[in-house]
Amino acid sequence: MPKQRRSRGPDRDRGGKREAPQKPRQRARQAHTDWRADSNLALIYGFHSVREALRTGRRQLVRLHATKEAAERLSSEIAAAHVPLNIMSAQELSARLGAQAVHQGLLVEANALEAGDISDVAESRGTVLVLDQVTDPHNFGAILRTAAAFGVEALITTHRHSPEVSGVLVKAASGGLEHVQLINVTNLARALHTLGDYGFYRVGLDSEGPAPLDSLPVSTPLALVLGAEGHGLRRLTREKCDVLARLDLPGPIKSLNVSNACAIALALVTRALKSAE
């Protein structure tokens, strides 16, 4: 009668040696492999970004992954949004998003927001931003955040030479993407021409502009046009603006990071518009 082979048992490898017990980090990675996010969904992480996605209801939320503590902080918003909740550890979230992602214990999978059309602002009486080849996701996201703070109606950019709406951009926007309509166009010069037909006063921000921005008699509808760092506004973009203006800065440095310049410009035009009321 042939000898029966002895089972190795769950704690022995093929050489008959006892397997080393898993360390906590190894267990976390193994548990994480049981969860795979849908690649067709947008990933939104970070407290402010997730909170605004829950509050506004502009997009369909599929699943929320959160630590117990983070879920408790947003318990009312989660209940109102009726989104399925999956409690996870912070280590599992980091394993999914990467160690550099500051997720603050929150990650929501959601359908992407649909980009608008230039015709959506045809009847606008407010302010829109136009970005000429601003490609850095951190700057783009920071501009969205500032735009939301100042009540900007839309942000217009091109399909090409603009960043992907990734988790990094959404995190930098800190919820701004949920409040400002994003409009993608093929040709920026043509879009600026169309804005002119709609009655927009098109102001191009340029460090060498002939007039200080705070000296202009601005009115709505207003399109504030900003260019990429280093290159500024392209020639055709400049030609389609009604006026080019600069930020008069008292210090020796006359140009700023585009997101910082945007914040100052919006503060100046907002004050000017209120004074004109």
Contact 31, 91 (CB under 8 A): no
> Residue 114 is encoded by which pair of tokens?
């649909």
> Residue 252 is encoded by which pair of tokens?
């020796």
Per-residue confidence (pLDDT) for residue 203, from 0 to 100: 97
Query: Using the 8-state DSSP alphabet, how is residue 62 labeled?
Result: E
Question: For residue range 177-186, what is the model confidence (pLDDT) as tens digits?
Answer: 999 999 999 9
Query: Using the 8-state DSSP alphabet, how is residue 177 labeled?
Result: G
Q: Under the phi-then-psi rule, with left for phi > 0, alpha for psi from -120 to 50, and beta for the rest, what region is 230? A: left
Contact 243, 211 (CB under 8 A): yes
Question: For residue range 239-259, what is the model confidence (pLDDT) as tens digits?
Answer: 999 999 999 888 888 778 999
The pTM score is 0.78
> Residue 117 is encoded by which pair of tokens?
């059309």
Question: For residue range 114-155, what is the model confidence (pLDDT) as tens digits?
Answer: 889 999 999 999 999 999 999 999 999 999 999 999 999 999
Per-residue burial over 25-47, b if 16 or more Cβ lie within 10 Å, else e, is eeebeeebeeeeeeeebbbbbbb
For residue 20, is pLDDT > 70?
no
Per-residue confidence (pLDDT) for residue 37, from 0 to 100: 53
Backbone angles phi, psi at 218, to 5 degrees: -75, 155
HSE at residue 41, side-chain half, CA atoms within 13 A, is: 17
Mean pLDDT computed over 57-76: 93
Displacement of CA 205 from its chain's centroid (Å):
22
Per-residue confidence (pLDDT) for residue 174, from 0 to 100: 87
